[in-house]
Chain A
Amino acid sequence: MGLKGRAAVTGVADYKNVRKYTGKRKFFLEQWAELTQLALADAGLSKHDVDGLCCAAIPESTMFAPATIAEYLGLQVNFAETVDLGGASPVSMIWRAAAAIEMGICEAVVCAAPGLPIPSNPNPPPKDPTRVYGSTSAKWGSPQAEYDVPYGNVAQNAGYALIAQRYAATYGYDERALAKIAVDQRTNAQGNPNAVFYGEPITIDDVLQSKMIADPLHILEIVMPCAGGSAVVVVSERLAKKCKHRPVFVTGFGERLTTRSVTYAEDMTVSPVGPAAASAFAMSGKKPKDVDVLEAYDCYTITVLLTIEDSGFCSKGEGTAFVNENDLTFSGSFPVNTHGGQLGAGQAAGMAGGMSQPVEGVRQIMGRADGRQIANCNAALITGTGGIMSEQSAIILEGA
């Protein structure tokens, strides 16, 4: 079942993450053009090779995003998809691209996630009052509008705090281990000049003394929003031979969605990343011990902890001990989020934060991770998380 591992990522591109963007503002369509051009140049391909695209929503058009992008870039594609899986969207774009390529309907698919600020609208539309609750829908008829918003369970912090608190009551809570995740990832960010926290290492005490936002989550356990954006090019085995860098094959994937609000999860402490990762491992014939790096979606420290446990790197409830026993830095015993993750490098706007994990996995396997390169990196598990730990995707990447 599933992929045979005949589609490969051969090019990547990204913007430098910055907290206060002062450069030229660009529409998502412009960023799509720029990121595509850069990623194709990185691969050694031309625009004429592209016959597929995977996108997320674009602010310029509430419908017909793929056709609008294809038209703007002058592409004619055999495969187009708008992926609406929140932070899991980028990882899910990549497996969809790989599957379409293996089915033979296309040979080169661009997957991009812009996240730079768009130009200020000289005629701003009236404020939509249902848009003030972040990603939580306040539209009439939405269950969230009726049963989440009136109680203040709005946006992400409260939901992830509820998960962490339930985890604490079930398995115990070593707050220093959770903080260590943020610290080790921040150490990784010191090897990434494009990270927002480059040049700013932290300690466990820094994390635990930082402001409490929603118990037990401190502000340094929560991603820093920033401007950024990135793209990858996924191609057929045939085209991969023409490319400049070591091809990084997509050898397995999995996806699992459960709820929108974590309130209704069967067990709040168990992430759907478990079945997603299990599927990815089974398809690729790999086991957790066979991967050299975990690039895990990391909106919060608790997200990483649950991803480590539920992906099978350790037993349920033993995640904090595992984190304490392992060095999660790029030169450590169990490298996690070698670019700093979104906790250390910043969470670029739009869906771009979740593209940083696959881009980093590709760079590691290509051997192009510069100041943070893992020695002999050949296989990676990449995860994406959307909703409130309720939409999960996973891919296995392997070097040729």
Chain B
Amino acid sequence: MESNRPLPIPTPNSEPFWKGLANHQVTLQQCNDCAAWVFYPRSHCNGCLSPNLTWTEVTGNGTLYSYTVARRPTAPQFADDIPQLIVVVELNEGVRLNSVMINVAPEALIIGMAVKPVFHLQNSATLLYFEPA
């Protein structure tokens, strides 16, 4: 199953994000015009549609916005990970992203808890997982 895991295939726009993770850095785009933080990576700011975006390194720290404990695999490729802690994290910059929590028991998850990044090597890709801060 491991080799079948769906991995992100970077696009020209997203490559800096995935390269950053491979170097254990969380980078986000910020809009030069309206100062909004942008996630996921885009060609234009989703706050004001400006094309003037700058990549900036951030801590990757944030809080748990929501979670679920997948008792059944959401797709066969995740069967080995059950129960999988599928989460949404809100970074300190205010943007939200999908992730997985590790190094924590399902019962210990509390919405609002502080989390910090884990750079999780999955085959050839580095995914942004989280653990309790």
Contacts and interface: CB of A to CB of B under 8 A. Distances in A.
Contacts of A163: 66
A240 B72 CA distance: 49
B65 interface: yes
A268 B86 contact: no
B104 interface: no
Contacts of A214: 68-72, 74, 86
Contacts of A263: 88, 96-98
Interface string B72-83: 111111100100
Interface size class of B (residues with CB under 8 A): 35 or more
Contacts of A217: 68
A286 interface: no
A215 B107 CA distance: 11
A295 B96 CA distance: 33
Q: How would you classify the secondary structure of chain B's contact residues: helix, strand, loop or mixed? A: mixed
Nearest to A160: B68
B86 A132 contact: no
A42 interface: no
A133 B68 contact: no
Contacts of A148: 98
Interface in B72-122: 72-78, 81, 84, 86, 88, 96-100, 106, 111-112, 122
B11 A152 contact: no
B100 A151 contact: yes
Contacts of A166: 65-66, 111
Given A146-B9, A150-B122, A152-B84, A268 B66 contact: yes
A133 B73 CA distance: 11
Contacts of A70: none
Q: Which of B11, B71, B84, B112 has the most CB of A within 10 A?
A: B71
A140 B9 contact: yes
Given A143-B40, A149-B6, A152-B84, A215 B71 contact: yes
B86 A146 contact: no
Q: Which of B6, B65, B99, B127 has the most CB of A within 10 A?
A: B6
Nearest to A216: B68
Given A133-B6, A147-B98, A213 B66 contact: no
Contacts of B72: 157, 213-214
Contacts of B8: 145-147, 150
A143 B39 CA distance: 10
Contacts of B97: 147, 263
5 contacts: A145-B8, A150-B125, A169-B112, A215-B69, A215-B106
Given A145-B6, A150-B8, 4 more contacts: A158-B70, A161-B70, A263-B96, A263-B98
Interface of A: 132-134, 138, 140-141, 143, 145-155, 157-158, 161-163, 165-166, 169, 211-215, 217, 261, 263-264, 268
